[in-house]
Structure 1
């Protein structure tokens, strides 16, 4: 087998694993409704509403606008967002039908990190001795999942927390505050706002949902703290040998200190300890993707998210926040 064919085969296998993951992860908290070429995941009890996506094993099949409309009708009946998510390279026929139904499609680079090559890949995320491969400096302690965050000062501790940890409500709340301020500046929201957000998320059951997922092994949460205050947090969600890093956010008043990078490194280290061999994430734009590439991730595909036009503005706000998180990480370690 020639080198190019071998590379194509490896990429095909990787995208197959990611496709299986995207079908499996919502099943940990949702019921799957069959719509032929599409599957709608419906929240089961507490938790968050999920999305519709191509049915596993039928990703190459053509999808009609009528099938998309059927799913959207069910989503409206349930009172959940009319969202569809899929990988462009795995389901090339879905976009036309989704757009014909009136939804707006957003493109996001999909990046992966191969942990099966040994600890070098993890070191790239942690900064460590990544050298020319990453172009990033050191983040001491992050590769071990705990310790001081490089560029953030010795007082900052980065760790993966358990379901009963007193920091959990604050770790859940930090990304909410991060995405509530979508500009690119250091913001005013700090400890007082964090305490109020944590109180609300405890009250509405959101923290209990995350705690339950931690106990069940479906979610891991990492937090960066200074003087007992959560400044940055994020999650990864392992399913077998694959996990996705999601929801990394930094308190607006603590931006541009490299905390997002340290949290990401801790999540990657935790994933390795759980036996994960492929970690992936989606970046909101090419600029952010290039920064992730500098810390060891590589671009492998395009993630597509479709939503009604009237909610598309929130997507653009999220892009601005992620750009801050990624840029602050590189600024802190260069």
Structure 2
């Protein structure tokens, strides 16, 4: 399968639920792949707390018909790129200046695809912005996230926070808004894969419960 992925230029990546295919973990590692074992969590809508106003951050959904949509797509990509380059939940110095330096306008084809998926309800994205910035590195858009939807199932992915703005509830606020929007849009099942047990604890406070382990295998992932 890895050879086939190379032949067609596809990413060498595999995802599966460990509890349903436990034998794949050893096979993937024997093939030289690193495997991230992420808590797989499903939302219990009845356990989801009400969304309340946050003193630090506000969250808005990206609208495909808005004139700022192209810029929003670019800034979402910049925030995510910086966040995932500095993986984990630790705070750091990378903030607004790093975000602005990383801004790259989306190609016409990429922008059209983003807009089409949003218009068809197959995806929704959100941005988190600081309300009253007192630090220039913690200002403007500091977090981003999205969900992708297939029928009545939605997966929340790419929840990211600039290191300079971490530990202030940004990811929590983003996830709450995305989960509520997915439910209100008709999704019956909302799930996500947490990056770590610590992150899973935060999602649990939003009404998510662990149902298994998502295994994500790639050549670039370093196995602990």
TM superposition score normalised by structure 1: 0.57
2:136 match: none
More helix by share: 1
Q: CA RMSD in A?
A: 2.5
Equivalent of residue 160 in structure 2, options 236, 244, 249: 249
Bigger Rg over Cα: 1
Higher RCO structure, 1 or 2 (CA under 8 Å, sep 6+): 2
Question: Gapped runs of 5+ residues in structure 2?
Answer: 132-138
Partner SS for 2:179: helix
**Is the deviation greater in 156-165 or in 299-308?**
156-165
Please report how far the alpha carbon of residue 175 of structure 1 lies from its aligned counterpart in structure 2 after TM superposition: 1.2
> Does the 8 Å CA contact 1:105/1:307 hold for their aligned counterparts?
yes
2:221 is aligned to 312
* CA deviations over 1:132-157 (Å, ceiling 9, x no partner): xxxxxxx52xxxxxxx4x241xxx43
Aligned to 2:95: 189
SS in 2 for 1:182: coil
1:230 aligns with 2:141: yes
Deviation at 1:267, TM superposition (A): 0.2
- Closer, same or farther in 2 for the Cα pair 1:187/1:210, shift >3 Å? farther
Residue deviations 1:74-99, cap 9 Å, x none? 11112333211101122233334333
Superimposed CA distance per residue, residues 68-123 of structure 1 (whole angstroms, 9 cap, x where no aligned partner): xxx111111123332111011222333343333332322111011133xxxx3332
TM-score (norm 2): 0.82
Give, in angstroms, the shift of residue 178 of structure 1.
1.2
**Contact 2:176–2:206 (8 Å) recurs in 1:** no
Q: CA deviation at 1:215?
A: 2.0
Partner of residue 106, structure 2: 202
Write out aligned runs for 1:126-137 (5 A). 128=50
Is 1:104 the equivalent of 2:34? yes
Aligned to 2:76: 171
Whether 1:279 aligns to 2:184 is no
- Are 1:108 and 1:284, in contact at CA under 8 Å, matched by a contact in 2? yes
Match in the other structure for 2:59: 158
Inter-CA distance 214–92: structure 2 relative to 1 (3 Å threshold): same
Give the Cα separation in 2 of the matches to 1:76 and 1:243.
29
Provide the rounded CA distance (Å) in 2 between the counterparts of 1:272 and 1:180: 31
Deviations 1:142-197 (A, max 9, x none): xxxxxx4x241xxx43121212431333233321121122361232331x433343
C-alpha distance in structure 2 between counterparts of 1:77 and 1:286, whole Å? 36
Cα deviations by residue, 1:204-239 (Å, 9 ceiling, x for unpaired): 854443223212321100112246932211001121
